[in-house]
A and B are shown apart, each in its own frame.
Chain A
Amino acid sequence: MRSTRLDLAVSGLVAFVVLGPLLVGPGYWLFGDMVFVPRQPWKDAWLGLDGSLPRAVPMDAIVSVLTHLVPGSWVQKTFLVTAFVLGGLGAARLVRPYAGLAAARAAATVLYLWNPWVHERLLLGQWAILAGYLALPWVALAARRLRRDLRAGWAPAAVALAVSAVCSPSSGVMAVVVLVVLGVRWRDPRSWAVVVALGVVANLTWLLPSLTADAAAVTTDGVFDLFAARAESAAGVLASLLSLGGTWKTSILAPERTSAVVVLLSCLLAAAALAGLRRALRRGSDPSEVRRLLALAGVALVVAALPTSLTGGAGAALLEQVGDRVPAAALLRDSQRFLAPAALALAVGLAAAVTWVREQVAPGREAWWAVVGLAVVAPVVLLPSLAWGGGELARSSYPRDWAAVADLVGDPTGPGDAATVVLPWQGSYRRFAFNDGRAVLDPAPRLLPGEVLVDDRTLVDGREVPSEDPRVTAVTGALAAGSPTEVSSALRDLGVRWVLVEPGADRAAAALPAGGTAYDGDTLLLLDLAAPATGSKDPAQVRTDGPSSHDDHAGLVIVGHGCVFVLLLCGLMRILHSGVTTITSSRRWPLKSLGGD
């Protein structure tokens, strides 16, 4: 119990140091993809029922429900802090069999919570993917339990997989890979059957919306090369990846990561962790798990490195060929994110390494304690930019204009199913003065009720990744229809009633669709194109050449969500019923008792 309190204290401290600016006052963190709004209206899209590609399904649904109970800023704070603290606690529990002292667990916890991967995902605003990463130690713990006892181990595995899949599709996939590599008894068909069944059911929440999406076309053309991991410094891409860095988005890099010295010192830390794993392999009580962890790290590294310059472009070309035949391969773009499972191996290895260092302390060699201390603080010293949100992430609050516009668009007396187009029609990221000019995903789709259309074409290094929603392409055409009246008419034909003009768009009448001014505030202008013209196409039908079929699939998608919910519920009840508060405790189930392959 005392050790758990200590682990909680370390995790809580790290969470506070990283998230501090968000926690010390009211307001939101709004940057990159991190968008929370005061109250997120419910939409079918949050569950993937509208036929669009599920990007944040069902996380958006959860956030929407929660923001109806408490303000969105509380939801944001709670999600991030809980994920960080539980992630650190999970890492500490995972390494317990390898850690001979509290400092070893602390070193592993700090490394897991404080590394370039975490920094880069946080600054990308990918909080749900970050939450999935922080769930991985619990997946690994469940895998350990499952390998020991298939019958008793399915429940924690089910819960861990379901939570991961809820976070994001890529998190769900990573969790399944971790469970397979660490939890399957290779020669036991029952073990395979259980893991595969759990993996499939847990991921139905996004799998079914993906398979039944009739409104979108996945683009894989050139995306693997565009989003490939990159070298952060002169040390090269491999050094970046070995130290858990290498994001494609160079604009969010921590300044110190551009130094080859820092990256190479980070590699030294990784090398120490690998040495620790080697020692655990030779002297540990469960060499099988260590081998599996090494294999997991290897797989993660290969996937992350595949589309990079390390393969001379062959990896990206291979992925594109696969993507042409299997659109789901698009999930592998931004491959660096799949480096996450490697952090599990590094955390375990560092704990083992610190334990070895502790064993070297003897009269006349007390200075080894300094090495122990160095291992604990090294991740922080090597990445000071993660402290206090990078020093640049101040909180923001939405101006009143946003609430006023949301009220108008959501007026229940108005016509239903009217869509909103957001201008400027140039990408989906904005710089608002109220947000200190930080780039953030347009909050309109989450703040406004009804369908909100934003230009989601992606431009990276001057190359355009086209929108995956044909409706966006249709709006692009409508906006180029000619005169304001013609544009207005073309938009109405697409089922658009409202045009939200945000800062950055040309407010001259000649540059806007013809329509009445519904709201004219300091920062936002809302145009009412009046009700869609008689005979205008149903918004859903514009998406596809033929009649939309997503209504037919909605039932199937709901069944999928229901399956995941039931799985989660059954897993939790099983855990509570059997009193498995120690599902991950190595005290009751020591590692040496774990079954082998």
Chain B
Amino acid sequence: MNMIISAVVGVALATAAMVGGVKAAQGDQQKVSSEQLAQYSSE
């Protein structure tokens, strides 16, 4: 039982860390050109 649980936890953790971590490390915030700056907005 311990083996199965550990494997499931390990796979979930590794998948999240690999996919999410790599994406986060690689990806910068999307830049918006100065011409389109007026498109920045919120409430």
Contact = CB atoms under 8 A, between A and B. Distances in A.
A262 B19 contact: yes
Contact of A390 (B13, B29, B42): B29
A382 B27 CA distance: 15
A427 interface: yes
Given A367-B6, A370-B5, A381 B17 contact: yes
Contacts of A366: 2
Interface string B6-18: 1001001101110
Interface of B: 1-6, 9, 12-13, 15-17, 19-21, 23-24, 26-32, 34, 37-43
24 contacts: A33-B42, A33-B43, A126-B43, A255-B24, A255-B28, A256-B20, A258-B23, A259-B19, A259-B20, A261-B19, A262-B23, A268-B12, A333-B43, A367-B6, A381-B16, A381-B17, A390-B29, A392-B28, A427-B37, A427-B38, A428-B41, A439-B32, A455-B38, A459-B38
Contacts of B37: 426-427, 429-431, 439, 504
A51 B9 CA distance: 57
Contacts of B39: 427, 459-461
B1 A253 contact: no
B24 A32 contact: no
Listed residue (A255, A334, A374, A458) with the most chain B CB atoms within 10 angstroms of its CB: A255
B32 to A, nearest CB: 6
Given A124-B42, A367-B6, A459-B41, A265 B12 contact: yes
A560 B21 CA distance: 49
Given A251-B29, A367-B2, A371-B5, A429 B16 contact: no
A480 B27 CA distance: 42
Given A126-B43, A255-B27, A367-B6, A374 B19 contact: no
A384 B5 contact: no
B42 A364 contact: no
Given A126-B42, A334-B42, A259 B12 contact: no
A574 interface: no
A370 B42 contact: no
Given A259-B19, A429-B37, A429-B38, A374 B30 contact: no
B13 to A, nearest CB: 6
A125 B20 contact: no
B2 A256 contact: no
B43 A55 contact: yes
Contacts of A55: 43
A301 B30 CA distance: 27
A258 B26 CA distance: 12
Given A253-B30, A265-B12, A429 B40 contact: yes
A123 B26 CA distance: 18
Interface in A257-276: 258-259, 261-262, 265, 268
A255 B34 contact: no
Interface of A: 32-33, 55, 123-126, 129, 170, 249-256, 258-259, 261-262, 265, 268, 333-334, 364-368, 370-371, 374, 378, 381-385, 390, 392, 426-431, 439, 455, 457-461, 465, 504
Nearest to A250: B30
B5 to A, nearest CB: 4
Instruction: Report the 4 A-B pairs with minimum CB-CB distance, sorted nearest first.
Output: A255-B27, A427-B38, A367-B5, A429-B40
Contact of A367 (B9, B17, B34): B9
A177 B37 CA distance: 35
Contact of A392 (B5, B21, B29): B29
A504 B31 CA distance: 17
A251 B12 CA distance: 28
Contacts of A265: 12, 15-16
B19 A256 contact: yes
Contacts of B17: 381
A426 B24 contact: no
Contacts of B1: 364-365, 367
Contacts of B20: 256, 259, 262, 381-384
Contacts of A368: 5
A426 B39 CA distance: 10
A32 B26 contact: no
A333 B43 CA distance: 8
A428 B41 CA distance: 8
Given A261-B19, A364-B2, A431-B34, A385 B40 contact: no
Q: Which of B2, B16, B24 has the most CB of A within 10 A?
A: B16
Given A384-B20, A384-B21, A255 B26 contact: yes
Contacts of B9: 367, 370-371, 374
Contact of A382 (B5, B16, B26, B42): B16
Nearest to A248: B42
B24 A385 contact: yes
A373 to B, nearest CB: 8
Given A255-B24, A384-B24, A365 B12 contact: no
Contacts of A458: 41
A32 B42 CA distance: 8
A371 B2 CA distance: 11
A107 B28 CA distance: 28
Nearest to A265: B16
Given A256-B24, A384-B21, A460 B29 contact: no
B43 A381 contact: no
A334 B43 CA distance: 7
Contact of A252 (B2, B29, B38, B43): B29
Which of A32, A385, A430 gathers the greatest number of chain B CB atoms within 10 Å? A385
